[in-house]
A and B are shown apart, each in its own frame.
Chain A
């Protein structure tokens, strides 16, 4: 039965068009009583029977006022979601093993606040999906973040999301199902304790110098000079120096790194399977980027020339993700 329902749901969700902005109307907002709603209905029935049996006119009044309030509550509940506009900001890429943060802007043109709107990812178990709650102020918008534990690396379509509300009485559940069009890029998971960066390769066309016999560490450092970019400071060494009681900063010598080139090569990174290698390369990309080094990346069928900066890093990571 559950399996059948799950299949039915999947079939239904797959029919929904994917879009990044969804305006909720009569057509895509659904409403059903909750368990509390059924309990309320039972209560009303019992109150009615008691009123009939004891001929209590005031009992009728109480019963009907409660029933009227429940009907009004049903409309309020539906109106709480109807007319709301959901917009998904394109999600930032994340690493596998992390959770993607989906940032959704909810904007309302209504003159009254919309209270208690919850959003979540429709997972296998609807009841235990983590939910984010928000109020949408009158004629304003608010953003809400839903996290989604991403699957393996690659480009992924976003899961179906649901927005729902129980406000004001909790007797009805009003909800909508929304399939955003955006995708999320998932980088490979960085290796947790990666080996040091590989040694640099001599730059094509430059004569071999002493620097070729590198220790594997990038020791091209010199004393700090005023005007050096703060990024060039080797903080690790500075910390060691401070610990030893000396008061000196060292900077990375740009020239020395220029002479040898760091290549992060899929073929030579040492780890076993493809995923392991990608994982290590990812860690190295992050490490090299943190150190502010120029680096190139070689993966099967693709080579990215050495460079640095966020764009370069993003390019490399994307390559690793989609490789």
Chain B
């Protein structure tokens, strides 16, 4: 239907429509990353251009294009406040691509569209480098190449399919070059600073306002992938530690401010015990500077190109935001002790509460202190009591606790009695502090899911979690997860509140629950492999490759040498091929020559110009009407027919068949004389 409609169009119209379709595909992929007006304007311009093409109308004059351009510039300025930044640039290039189609008259202009489209394609990678994006980009690349090839087939009306095949063939021939360059092209550090701290971010933030992790809990995106060497710890122990929040202003939790001068500041004072757990983490870009490690790690993980340090709160920080996939190996302990064992001044910060908030919680604290006593030795009892209250007080774990007001802890403890990790942890820590027990919130990820296909653990954004740490004399900081008291299933097993799933996934799940899980596992394993092999191919991996090739201490200059060597080698091969091509290499002639040499060995001489028919005759003369001679002669005649039969004559066997038959021929014995 579409095909017949297309073939009815004049060639120019068809070509233009095809190019517009490719441009539309390039622009559609940018919809999530550009402001709404940009998508609308682009769609409008492309539709307008399509209508003009179909109706055979002239293209708009320059005032139109200039006007649209000015509108775009102003709208970009209004949206982004600049014309130069990354997001503004993406917005501009998308609109420019669409506007350029309005002055696409000759095939030459197709070039400009082509080059602009490539910039637009590259900008996709600012936002996503997933397998799906790559597939979308590959389609766009093939579409653009097809349009270009089609533009250089000036004769007649070649089908787009034909052009597409040529383009695909060209890309296939280019793939080895791509591979070699990708493997060996030296990876430099950024030429100038990587902007983009302000890009769309996902993942944990550095502050916590009650109600915030809720967004993450609904996000099925992947935060980390972890591969353990040896047995993984039980799921209940999988606490991936992120930002530690110690300051509370009544509304928001923030990280500690280094108020205390160096020596008096809180020290990490970490001591570990038990067997180390070795593992490797592949972390999705978070645009934030912290690394997630399993609870306590003594040694800094090695992240290529970054400096990593540990804060006193056992957080691991990098020197710049993580804007790309990173992979790091680490060694952690789940049995450890950290923090001061005796009271220090710096712990004061960990009991501070803003005045005027949560009066009823403070009252509750008074009451608990009356019941369970006070002082450092009462701390375990108090913690137990509060945990008991959470377990038995009718508290509910839910993702939809409603909107909390000003006194979040009061509301949680007395009114609503429901919430999820952040409400529970926040209320718990407030209550602890009200009890004069140093306490703080730790955010991070808890749990994970084993992908049975590749053995990686997948930690998703919805595994984001907040728990508490309570300081006890003689023990230091002790992890307390109040959420586990409310909802024991939240940690430990896979039983979680899951986000609503799409209609399609739902349908599959109803149809076959294990199939859905398997499909998902397979897809994620594929994605993971993509990440491990492609996205995580860094300078380190390059140098590893060189090490495998036998370089002792490779550097990037060695990479350049190897690359140059490959180029030289390929050029030499090309030159050799050219020389070879000059020689006679017609397969038919070669086959005849082989037969001729064979016969000459057996005593049937022939000249270079003797035709196969003549050879056959000589064979018959030499050996008479024996079976072998008859078959050799027959073969020679077939060889002749293969090349010289008139069209329409009985079909002769293919050259490949003849070659096979030649090997199977029974040759007469050489005369003993």
Interface residues of A (CB under 8 A from B): 25-26, 36, 39-40, 43, 46-47, 49-73, 75-76, 115-116, 118, 133-135, 166-170
Binding stretch for chain A, among B18-26, B41-49, B183-191: B183-191
**Chain A residue with the shortest CB-CB distance to B305:** A55
Inter-chain contact A73/B170, CB cutoff 8 Å:
yes
On chain A, the residues within 8 Å of B537 by CB distance are: 57
Inter-chain contact A65/B175, CB cutoff 8 Å:
yes
Q: Closest approach, in angstroms, between the C-beta of B144 and any C-beta of chain A?
A: 9
Q: Closest approach, in angstroms, between the C-beta of A60 and any C-beta of chain B?
A: 6
Inter-chain contact B190/A166, CB cutoff 8 Å:
no
A/B interface sample: 15 pairs, CB < 8 A = A54-B190, A57-B537, A60-B182, A61-B534, A63-B122, A64-B182, A69-B171, A73-B170, A75-B173, A116-B154, A116-B155, A168-B149, A169-B145, A169-B152, A170-B111
Inter-chain contact A69/B145, CB cutoff 8 Å:
yes
Cα distance A72–B177 in the bound complex, in angstroms: 9
Cα distance A15–B455 in the bound complex, in angstroms: 71
- State the 9 A-B residue pairs at the shortest beta-carbon distance, nearest first: A68-B174, A68-B177, A72-B173, A69-B174, A64-B178, A64-B181, A58-B129, A65-B178, A56-B125
On chain A, the residues within 8 Å of B182 by CB distance are: 60-61, 64
Inter-chain contact A72/B534, CB cutoff 8 Å:
no
Q: Closest approach, in angstroms, between the C-beta of A174 and any C-beta of chain B?
A: 12
Cα distance A115–B145 in the bound complex, in angstroms: 16
On chain B, the residues within 8 Å of A54 by CB distance are: 125-126, 190, 194, 196, 323
On chain A, the residues within 8 Å of B176 by CB distance are: 68
Inter-chain contact B115/A39, CB cutoff 8 Å:
yes
Contact of B118 among A47, A53, A71 (CB under 8 A): A47
Extra contacts, 19 of them, besides A56-B129, A60-B181 (Cβ < 8 A), are A36-B111, A52-B191, A57-B536, A58-B129, A60-B182, A62-B125, A62-B141, A68-B178, A69-B173, A71-B177, A72-B177, A76-B170, A115-B153, A115-B158, A118-B154, A133-B154, A168-B170, A169-B145, A169-B152
Given A53-B191, A58-B534, A135 and B125 contact (CB-CB distance below 8 Å) = no
Inter-chain contact B133/A58, CB cutoff 8 Å:
yes
Cα distance A50–B173 in the bound complex, in angstroms: 25
Q: Closest approach, in angstroms, between the C-beta of A73 and any C-beta of chain B?
A: 6
Cα distance A170–B145 in the bound complex, in angstroms: 11
On chain A, the residues within 8 Å of B194 by CB distance are: 53-55
**Chain A residue with the shortest CB-CB distance to B121:** A62
**Chain A residue with the shortest CB-CB distance to B124:** A58
Cα distance A169–B151 in the bound complex, in angstroms: 8
Cα distance A135–B154 in the bound complex, in angstroms: 9
Inter-chain contact A51/B190, CB cutoff 8 Å:
no
Q: Is the interface of B mostly helix, strand, loop or mixed?
A: helix
Q: Closest approach, in angstroms, between the C-beta of A157 and any C-beta of chain B?
A: 30
Given A52-B188, A53-B190, A70-B174, A167 and B137 contact (CB-CB distance below 8 Å) = no
Against A, the Cβ 8 Å flags (1 = close, 0 = not) of B521-536 are 0000000000000111
On chain A, the residues within 8 Å of B149 by CB distance are: 167-169
Given A40-B115, A115-B153, A170-B148, A67 and B178 contact (CB-CB distance below 8 Å) = yes
Cα distance A65–B152 in the bound complex, in angstroms: 20
Cα distance A53–B195 in the bound complex, in angstroms: 10
User: What number of B residues sit within 8 Å (CB to CB) of A?
Assistant: 55
Inter-chain contact A64/B185, CB cutoff 8 Å:
yes
Cα distance A33–B153 in the bound complex, in angstroms: 18
Cα distance A57–B190 in the bound complex, in angstroms: 12
On chain B, the residues within 8 Å of A56 by CB distance are: 122, 125-126, 129, 324
Most chain A C-beta atoms within 10 Å of own C-beta, residue among B171, B176, B323, B538: B171
Cα distance A36–B593 in the bound complex, in angstroms: 47
**Chain B residue with the shortest CB-CB distance to A136:** B155
On chain B, the residues within 8 Å of A58 by CB distance are: 125, 129, 133-134, 137, 534-535
Cα distance A58–B125 in the bound complex, in angstroms: 7
Given A64-B178, A65-B178, A69-B145, A53 and B152 contact (CB-CB distance below 8 Å) = no
Q: Closest approach, in angstroms, between the C-beta of B564 and any C-beta of chain A?
A: 16
Inter-chain contact A167/B535, CB cutoff 8 Å:
no
Cα distance A292–B65 in the bound complex, in angstroms: 66
On chain A, the residues within 8 Å of B175 by CB distance are: 65, 68
Cα distance A115–B122 in the bound complex, in angstroms: 31
Cα distance A174–B492 in the bound complex, in angstroms: 69
**Chain A residue with the shortest CB-CB distance to B534:** A57
**Chain A residue with the shortest CB-CB distance to B537:** A57
Inter-chain contact A135/B156, CB cutoff 8 Å:
yes
Q: Closest approach, in angstroms, between the C-beta of A23 and any C-beta of chain B?
A: 12
On chain A, the residues within 8 Å of B154 by CB distance are: 116, 118, 133
Contact of B323 among A55, A63, A67, A170 (CB under 8 A): A55
Inter-chain contact A71/B174, CB cutoff 8 Å:
yes
Q: Closest approach, in angstroms, between the C-beta of A293 and any C-beta of chain B?
A: 46
On chain B, the residues within 8 Å of A168 by CB distance are: 148-149, 152, 166-167, 170
Inter-chain contact B129/A65, CB cutoff 8 Å:
no
On chain A, the residues within 8 Å of B141 by CB distance are: 62, 65-66
Cα distance A58–B134 in the bound complex, in angstroms: 7
On chain B, the residues within 8 Å of A65 by CB distance are: 141, 171, 174-175, 178
Cα distance A64–B118 in the bound complex, in angstroms: 12
On chain A, the residues within 8 Å of B137 by CB distance are: 58, 62
**Chain A residue with the shortest CB-CB distance to B133:** A58
Contact of A66 among B118, B129, B578 (CB under 8 A): B118
Cα distance A107–B537 in the bound complex, in angstroms: 48
Q: Closest approach, in angstroms, between the C-beta of A50 and any C-beta of chain B?
A: 6
On chain A, the residues within 8 Å of B187 by CB distance are: 52, 55
**Chain B residue with the shortest CB-CB distance to A117:** B155
- Which residues of chain B in 327-384 are interfacial with respect to chain A, using CB atoms and an 8 Å cutoff? none
- Which residues of chain B in 175-221 are interfacial with respect to chain A, using CB atoms and an 8 Å cutoff? 175-179, 181-182, 185, 187-188, 190-192, 194, 196
Most chain B C-beta atoms within 10 Å of own C-beta, residue among A60, A62, A118: A62
Cα distance A118–B155 in the bound complex, in angstroms: 10
Inter-chain contact A166/B174, CB cutoff 8 Å:
no
On chain A, the residues within 8 Å of B37 by CB distance are: none
On chain B, the residues within 8 Å of A61 by CB distance are: 134, 178, 182, 534
